[in-house]
């Protein structure tokens, strides 16, 4: 595979803004906790296993994984999120500002990419991200991507929404294009107008299958929600793909 590596990642500053954390301050940590419990039970990793939480945000999953006894490294490009996460560090839990498109330089028993932390860039960079995850996996390591189910998003799309958090009135609009799911967030704070955009690639299981072929990875299992029910594109809320390095005999 001849892959051109581009080290500049068009990182979206929205993820590092204080407003991102205000808008999403009520993220469901219990749901994250339950998912981690279900996932680690399913994977049945040894207690000594090392796990990379790629695009860990403020570390809510990493913290739960470490509590279960694993060694965890969390990486994210948001310096603000990593500074927050670092408050929870201990000898088995470390956080770094690092780009998930670039291999971390260490091999892990599992690499997790959770809560739609994939697909923010172009196709080449999606491939680059998967190659980087592959590079970070030990020979028998397991990768997990927890992505949205685009069919569910399409079905439930709320085109316009107003959300008030910490005195800020966020106007949110959503649209689906051929290639992306887009959210525009506008608000005023201290008499200043702000507009941010979130855009994630419109990827379904077949798109991921093509990506995996290109990056020498193979799918082991596909779940459709945090209870780990089987994926069904018509009813699942999530697209959770478990994968490993392609075996040499294939
Ligand atoms: C939807 S948030 C999810 C964060 C975390 N996994 C969680 O569940 O709370 C997506 C995260 O991806 C991070 N991110 C986006 N592009 C990245 C990149 N190239 N390298 C590292 N992190 C990245 C953002 O900073 C943000 O924290």
At 199-241, the pLDDT tens digits run 999 999 999 999 999 999 999 999 999 999 999 999 999 999 9
Q: Which of 8, 58, 77 to mutate to test the pocket of ligand 1 (most atoms within 8 A of CB)?
A: 77
DSSP 8-state secondary structure symbol assigned to residue 39: H
Report the alpha-carbon distance of residue 65 to residue 235 in Å, rounded: 28
Residue 40 Cβ inside 6 Å of ligand 1? The answer reads no
Report the alpha-carbon distance of residue 143 to residue 136 in Å, rounded: 10
Q: Which of 9, 39, 57, 104 to mutate to test the pocket of ligand 1 (most atoms within 8 A of CB)?
A: 57
Q: Where are the domains of the chain?
A: 27-151+203-245, 153-198
- Measuring from atom 13 of ligand 1, which residue has the nearest CA? 55
Report the alpha-carbon distance of residue 81 to residue 97 in Å, rounded: 9
Provide the pLDDT confidence category of residue 7 given band limits of 50, 70 and 90.
very low
* pLDDT tops 50 at residue 103: yes
At 177-209, the pLDDT tens digits run 999 999 999 999 999 999 999 999 999 999 999
What separation, in Å, do the N-terminal and C-terminal C-alpha atoms of the chain show? 16
Per-residue pLDDT, 249? 62
Give the Å distances, CA to CA, from 145 to 4, 55, 84, 113, 242.
23, 11, 23, 5, 7
Residues whose CB falls within 8 Å of the CB of residue 138, separated by 6 or more in sequence, listed in order: 107, 108, 109
27-151+203-245 CATH fold = Rossmann fold (3.40.50)
Q: Could you tell me the distance, in angstroms and rounded to a whole number, from the CA of residue 117 to the centre of ligand 1?
A: 5
Provide the pLDDT confidence category of residue 176 given band limits of 50, 70 and 90.
very high
The predicted model scores a pTM of 0.95
Report the alpha-carbon distance of residue 172 to residue 166 in Å, rounded: 16
**Mean per-residue pLDDT for 106-117?**
98
- Measuring from atom 20 of ligand 1, which residue has the nearest CA? 99
* pLDDT tops 80 at residue 5: no
**Mean per-residue pLDDT for 73-99?**
97
Task: Quote the percentage of the chain above a pLDDT of 70.
Answer: 95
Atom in ligand 1 nearest the alpha carbon of residue 99: 20
Pick 9 or 154 by higher pLDDT: 154
Residue 110 Cβ inside 6 Å of ligand 1? The answer reads no
Residue 208 three-state SS: helix
Q: Could you tell me the distance, in angstroms and rounded to a whole number, from the CA of residue 212 to the centre of ligand 1?
A: 21
Residue 101 Cβ inside 6 Å of ligand 1? The answer reads yes
**Mean per-residue pLDDT for 120-142?**
97
Per-residue pLDDT, 121? 95
């Amino acid at each position: 595979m001849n892959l051109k590596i581009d080290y500049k990642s068009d990182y979206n500053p929205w993820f590092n803004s204080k407003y991102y954390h205000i808008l999403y301050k009520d993220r469901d940590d219990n749901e994250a906790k339950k998912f981690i419990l279900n996932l680690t039970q399913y994977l049945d990793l040894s207690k000594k296993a090392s796990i990379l939480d790629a695009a860990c945000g403020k570390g809510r999953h990493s913290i739960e994984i470490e509590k279960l006894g694993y060694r965890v490294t969390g990486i994210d490009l948001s310096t603000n999120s990593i500074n927050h996460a670092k408050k929870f560090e201990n000898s088995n839990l470390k956080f770094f500002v690092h780009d998930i498109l670039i291999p971390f330089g260490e091999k892990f028993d599992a690499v997790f990419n959770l809560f739609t932390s994939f697909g923010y860039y172009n196709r080449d960079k999606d491939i680059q991200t998967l190659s980087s995850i592959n590079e970070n996996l030990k020979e028998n390591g397991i990768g997990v991507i927890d992505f949205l189910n685009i069919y569910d998003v399409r079905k439930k799309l709320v085109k316009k929404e107003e959300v008030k958090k910490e005195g800020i009135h966020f106007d949110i609009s959503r649209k689906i294009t051929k290639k992306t799911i887009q959210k525009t967030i506008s608000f005023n704070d201290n008499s200043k107008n702000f507009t941010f955009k979130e855009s994630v690639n419109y990827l379904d299981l077949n798109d991921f299958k093509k990506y995996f072929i290109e990056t020498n990875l193979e799918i082991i299992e596909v779940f459709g929600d945090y209870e780990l029910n089987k994926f069904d594109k018509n009813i699942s809320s999530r697209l959770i793909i478990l994968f490993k390095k392609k075996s040499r005999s294939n």
